[in-house]
Amino acid sequence: MREFCYAVAASFFGSLGFAVLFNTRGKRILISAVGGAVFWGLYLVFIHFVDNQYLGFFLSAILITIYAEVWARILKTPATTVLMPTVIPFIPGGALYYAVSAALRMDLPVFAEKARSALGLAVALAAGIMVVTSLRGPVDLILRRWKQGS
């Protein structure tokens, strides 16, 4: 339980730091930091029960992108201002680091495993973001037509 709390706190501060680094202003900083912590916590809970990293990254990316789109509408700002810092805890840096380390040591089996893992996680993350982003237009159209009918 303690490790879970540390991981969630680290994701909060990681998202907060990148929000500041990306020159985010006002409420968006806290919204990004809280989003990073919440969605990393949800990912950890999901992994505890399902034990599939790739599916966890994919579903988390979908939820994070929806979160960013909703806050973008509320704050009247581009979704990327919330999305980018919020998604930072999910960047597969550890797997990439270990892949490069194995490559430098000429340990090809470990390199192949870690590189495959890093690439798979990155693809799952990108696919989740793309699913929501590509469905935004049709959902907007449906909502506009529904409002006009009411």
Q: Given this model, what pLDDT does residue 150 score?
A: 63
What pLDDT, on a 0 to 100 scale, did the predictor assign at position 65?
A: 96
In order, the DSSP letters of 99-150 are HHHHHHTT-HHHHHHHHHHHHHHHHHHHHHHHHHHHHHHHHHHHHHHHHHH-
Q: Compute φ and ψ for 127, nearest 5 degrees.
A: -65, -40
Q: Which residues contact 66 (CB under 8 A, 6 or more apart)?
A: 132
User: Would you write out the chain's pLDDT as a tens digit for each of its 150 residues?
Assistant: 899 999 999 999 999 999 999 988 888 999 999 999 999 999 999 999 998 999 999 999 999 999 999 999 899 999 999 999 999 999 988 889 999 999 999 999 999 999 999 999 999 999 999 999 999 888 888 878 888 876
What predicted TM-score, i.e. pTM, was given to this entire model? 0.88
Compute the distance between CA of residue 7 and CA of residue 5 in angstroms, rounded to an integer: 5
* Cα Rg, the chain, nearest whole Å: 17
CA atoms within 13 A on the CB side of 14: 20
